[in-house]
Every structure is written in structure tokens, then in C-alpha cells.
Chains A and B, each alone.
Chain A
Amino acid sequence: MTRLDHLPDIAARGLGGLNADARLLGQIRLAAAGSAAKRRVRWQPVLLYCAAVAVFVAAALWGAPLLRLRNLPGTQPSIEVLGSSAAGGDPQAGDEYWAVAQGGAAGNVQAGGGAADAGSFRNLFAPERGGNFPLLMVDGAAYRMLISPTNMKNSLLGVSLGEVSEYTLEPALSTGGGIVSNIVNAGETVYAVKGMQGAMAAGYVKGGLRVFQRVSFAGTALLGSETLADTLTGASAVTAMELTGVGIVDDATTARALMQTLLDNATYGSASVGGGETRSLLIALANGLLMQLMVGDDTVSACGTWSCPEFFEAYALAVAE
């Protein structure tokens, strides 16, 4: 049947308007973040149990000889024995640690404060390294590395913001201007993300073009006359949202309206990021990237903490409808 031989051409025209676009990619990333979180939650009790057993065994192995030493008359406890047992190894050990950030296209779970509902707080930010998260500082504005994507599309590359002038593991102590990083090597070019200058930046980390989101750092959030919109993105760029523990809004029109509500009503609280957040707001953008805000009672935070009860009311309504 010759007509069947033309099926690729026929379908290319007949379905030419059906394309896997950035909106779908954003939804996939949201769903993957959720799926990975669930998988990790299932493993958490096992890992905690294993860790507890390991600690108990280690304590028994170290503690038994020490107790024997203590019971000997005239013998001082061996401080060095205790001091040399660095449980968990050096947190700055490097490659193994960074593998966590490198490997994940999906989100991970952080149980804020230990007692939080681990399933309701998802973290798309790359984890901390020796007290500092992997970041870029561009003329005083800090950007934190996201775990996804691991290699941003070149088509999203914006203008060059310059080259990393200083690589340091203590960026807060840096006194120089320019671009400072604890993850992007000195001399590497740092780029704006197209259409998102001020909210996101990109730089090469181990060969992959990683994306960084604007955040507070070392007591600094907004610069000059910046607003929340300057550190996030315009409402028109949003295609879907997930407020963990509440629900997903994947209707782009509703998501845009919600973002506009947030931008219009949020009031600035402080440069610090609370620490008591138990939920997260994941924002899927039309360019396929994801952003994250940490969520408190009525607050959102990433670059500063902002109060916006109107947003949460509108979100709850949108999910209920």
C-alpha cells in the first residue's frame, strides 16, 4: 500500500502542531522531582536504621578500650583516640560529595529540623559543601547551583557576565569584586540565562553547563532598587507550579495568575532565609528550567524572605477548583 509509505510525511503535517515543548519538559522535571523524593523517602528509614547500627557498633569498638583505659589506675583517658575518629569523613572530600549534586536530575529530600514531613519539602538546590552551598557571586549578587539541568541547552545562553576572577571555598570572606565562586573554576565564563538576567546565571562545572538561581547569601539579598520580580522571573515565563504538600497547578494561565499575585502582593521581610521552611514551591518555566522557593507559614524565600498570604490563599483555591 503506497499510501502507507507516505505515513511519515502525512503524520508530520497532520500532527505538525503537536510538539514536546518546554512546558512539557517543565512538567516532567516537576514529576521527576516528586518521584525521586518518594523513592528517597522509602529508603530513609532503612538508611537511618543502618546509620544508627553503624554508630552503635563504632561506639562499642571505640568505647570498650577507652573504658578499659579509664579503669586503669593512674591512666589518663586518651583524648586523641576520641579526637581522631572523624565519623563520616571529611565533608569537603570533593568528588564523592559533589557526585550528589552532579548526578541528580531529580530533586532530593531534606527533612528540615528533623521532624518535618520529609515528603513535603523538596530541594532542587545543590547541597552544601563544608558550610557553603555551591554558588556564584556576580557583583555582589549570589546564585546557588541547581541540581537540574546537568547541562543547560546552549540556546538558553544569555550574555556573558564575565569570567570567574576568584575561586575560593570561603566566598563570604572574599573582598574582591567581580565574579567569585566555590564551584566554577577561575577563568571560566559565566553567562546570564536568556530572558532571566538577575534571576539565573549559568557556568560550566566539570564540563556541564550548570544553572544557578538567585539567592540570599551572607546577609545580602536585594541589591539597589531590586524587587522580587528581579530575582525571580516574569509571570509570563511560568507554565506550572507545585507547592509541595498542597498540589500541582499545571494550567499555564492559572500558574501565571498565581505568580502575578505573588509578585504584586509579596512584602519584603528580611535578607535572611528563615530555616523553618517545611515546604517548597517549584516553578516550571516556559524555557524548561525550574526554580525553587522555600516556603514557610505565609512566606516564600530564596533571595530574601517575603510574606504573601494572598498567594497561598489563591494557590489553595486554584488547587481546589
Chain B
Amino acid sequence: MPNFEELYAKYATDVLRVCYFYLGDRQKAEDVCQDVFVRLMVNAPQLEEGREKAWLLKVALNRCRDLWRGSWTRRVVLGSPLFELIPAPDDTERSDEAEAMMTAVHALPVAFREVVLLHYYQNYGISEIARMMNLPEGTISSRLSRGRKKLETILQGGDAQ
């Protein structure tokens, strides 16, 4: 198994961005990312070779879900509907369409947001997502399908809730 430093170098940015995409709060995303890698460092779990990133994302999403479920956190810390992009400093070209797409994904109900992030953002297949989330593949397929419809509704100005 790669050592801690290698895993951090390869996957920490992806974990951080998924957390930010999920939570919409940079500080909270960093906290979750920190929790995930502290757990990796302290517990040193035996990770299946090639599935290290899946483990990291699974732990991160569980933590994000816990945070999101906390009503105080959701209302006070994560309550803003605005999703702010964090482009690289040298990237000055602004795309309204891209911003709308990312804001819409962030606005999806969490059950759909998770599968959309894993499937479309992190390129995991349905069976792998099912394994990560301990859910039947049919449930994942269904959530992806419904998530796409909800996303369309949001992009057209509707409410997905």
C-alpha cells in the first residue's frame, strides 16, 4: 500500500474538492479532509490495493453527511444557498454556465448530490458507488436518474427539494 505521504499527494485535493462541492464551505471542507487523513494516519487501516481513494471518499462523504444532518450547522454555517467558485488565481476567464452547473449540483438534495458527485465528478461506476455507500445498485441508478432530472429543474430555475 502507498504510504501516507503518497496517498495525501495523490488524493487529498480530490477529497477536499468533493467535500467543498458537498458542503459549500471551505473551512468545513478542510476540517473534513483533515479528519479523513488523521483517521488514515492514526488508525492505519488495511486498505485494499487500488481502492484507497474510494475509502478516503467514503469516509469523507460519511463525515459530510453527518455535518449536513446537524441542523445547526446546516442552518448557520452551511445555510447560504450561494456556492462560490474557487478558481486558480491565474484563471480569470469566467463562465456563467459552469458556475450555474456547479451551483446546481451543490443545490441537489444530499442523497442525489452524493451519487452525482461520485459518478460524474469522480467517475465512479454504479457498482463501485453502491459498494462505497452500502446500497443496492438499483438504488444508485435510480438516484442518478432522478438526480439528473432534479438538476435540470434547478438549472431551469426551479426548486429541486
Q: Which A positions have Cβ atoms within 8 angstroms of B?
A: 1, 3-5, 7-8, 10-11, 13-20, 24-25, 27-29, 31-32, 35-36, 39, 105-106, 149-153
Taken together as a complex, chains A and B put the C-alpha atoms of A258 and B77 apart, in Å, by 29
**Chain B residues in 8 Å Cβ range of A14:** 85-87, 98-99, 102
Find the A residue at minimum CB distance from B100: A3
What's the least CB distance linking A109 to chain B, in Å? 13
**Chain B residues in 8 Å Cβ range of A29:** 41
**Chain B residues in 8 Å Cβ range of A153:** 5, 9
Taken together as a complex, chains A and B put the C-alpha atoms of A24 and B101 apart, in Å, by 28
Q: Which of A19, A32, A106 has the most CB of B within 10 A?
A: A32
**Chain B residues in 8 Å Cβ range of A105:** 4, 41, 44
Judge whether B128 is part of the interface by a CB distance below 8 angstroms.
Answer: no
Majority-rule SS of A interface residues: helix
Are B21 and A15 in touch, CB under 8 angstroms?
yes
- Given the interface contacts A27-B34, A150-B4, A151-B3, does A32 sit within 8 Å of B86 by beta carbon? no
Query: CB within 8 A of B42: which of A7, A35, A149, A150?
Result: A35
What's the least CB distance linking A147 to chain B, in Å? 11
Find the A residue at minimum CB distance from B6: A151
Within 8 A of A (CB), among B88-140: 88-89, 91, 95, 97-99, 101-102, 105, 116, 120-123
**Chain A residues in 8 Å Cβ range of B16:** 18-20, 24
Are B13 and A20 in touch, CB under 8 angstroms?
yes
Taken together as a complex, chains A and B put the C-alpha atoms of A105 and B152 apart, in Å, by 46
Interface residues on B, range: 35 or more
Are A35 and B86 in touch, CB under 8 angstroms?
no
Find the B residue at minimum CB distance from A28: B37
Are B86 and A18 in touch, CB under 8 angstroms?
yes
Are B41 and A10 in touch, CB under 8 angstroms?
no
Find the A residue at minimum CB distance from B41: A32
What's the least CB distance linking B11 to chain A, in Å? 8
- Given the interface contacts A7-B120, A7-B121, A150-B4, does A106 sit within 8 Å of B21 by beta carbon? no
- Given the interface contacts A16-B86, A17-B88, does A28 sit within 8 Å of B15 by beta carbon? no
**Chain B residues in 8 Å Cβ range of A28:** 8, 34, 37-38, 41
Within 8 A of A (CB), among B141-161: 148, 151-152
Q: Could you list 26 A-B pairs, sorted by A, with CB under 8 Å?
A: A1-B148, A4-B148, A7-B120, A8-B121, A10-B98, A13-B98, A16-B88, A16-B91, A17-B87, A18-B16, A18-B26, A19-B13, A20-B8, A20-B13, A20-B16, A24-B16, A25-B12, A27-B34, A31-B34, A31-B38, A35-B42, A105-B41, A105-B44, A150-B4, A151-B3, A152-B5
**Chain A residues in 8 Å Cβ range of B20:** 15, 18
- Given the interface contacts A13-B95, A17-B87, A18-B20, does A3 sit within 8 Å of B41 by beta carbon? no
**Chain B residues in 8 Å Cβ range of A24:** 12, 16, 30, 33-34
